[in-house]
Amino acid sequence: MDQPDRRQSADGPVEGAPLRRRGKALEAAIFEAALDQLTSGGFARMTMEGVAGAAQTGKAALYRRWASKADLVMDALVAVMPPPADIPDLGSAEAELRHVIQAYIAVLNSRTGAAVRALMGELDHERAEFFKGFMHERVVGPTAEGILGILRRGEARGDVRRGAAVSIVADVLPAMLLYRAKFCAGVFDDEFCEDLLGQVLLPAIRP
């Protein structure tokens, strides 16, 4: 009996191979493989060939969608990052700021956060150009806007001093998170949350 041909075509496993995925299922497998390679070996060592092999597809399937591994990484991060969301009114600026910090700590301690931190650790000027737009759109911008909303509500309630709802104050939280992730390799835990809140943010905004 003739044996099925299990050679891999340019687009992935041919007929007779155990796995054939298309569309969203294939895309999800590619994104998972890309993030795994990014966290385990870093951006410099990541290759389109390695991602294709881990996702059990061919290089052509990747290059039809993404011109480079940088484009692939950005789409993979967008797919798994939580979308920017409105911050609920919890009755006090302190509670709302704690909510924001805890939410970002959860992300930074997840596989998605590990991938972002691995990428940030390797950024040089050239790589920073493609990454900074993503970070501003999905992290820095929404976080700062959400904090401005918190500060404005706090001003109206009276638990935030008048004049504190300004960009330079709102930028402190994302700046601290990015600094710690890129330069300090620090731990993101409840102690960090309370220190950032009690030692930095609340003293800057209290009436």
Q: Where are the beta strands (DSSP E) in the chain?
A: 8-9, 12-13
**So what's the pLDDT on residue 63?**
94
| Angle, CA of 18, 22 and 27, to the nearest 5° | 110
Cα 13 from Cα 27, distance rounded (Å): 15
Whether residues 116 and 191 share a domain: the answer is yes
Q: Residue 8's beta-bridge partner residues?
A: 13
**So what's the pLDDT on residue 95?**
96
Strand 8-9 to 12-13 pairing: antiparallel
**154 burial type by CB count under 10 A (0-12 exposed, 13-18 middle, 19+ buried):** buried
Domain-embedded: residue 95: yes
Q: What is the pTM of this model?
A: 0.74
Asked whether the beta carbons of 136 and 181 are under 8 A apart, the reply is: no
Report how far Cα 108 is from the mean position of its chain's Cα atoms. 8
Averaged pLDDT for residues 15-29: 69
Averaged pLDDT for residues 152-168: 96
Domain-embedded: residue 117: yes
Residue pLDDT, tens place only, 117-152: 888 777 665 666 667 777 788 788 888 999 999 999
**So what's the pLDDT on residue 19?**
54
Domain-embedded: residue 113: yes
Asked whether the beta carbons of 19 and 67 are under 8 A apart, the reply is: no
Domain-embedded: residue 51: yes
Residue pLDDT, tens place only, 170-198: 999 989 988 888 777 667 889 999 999 99
Lookup result for tokens 């891999």: 8
**So what's the pLDDT on residue 101?**
92
Please report, for the domain that includes residue 22, its CATH number: 1.10.357.10
Token reading at 186: 């620090």
Domain-embedded: residue 188: yes
Domain range for residue 115? 81-205
Percent of the chain with pLDDT over 70: 83
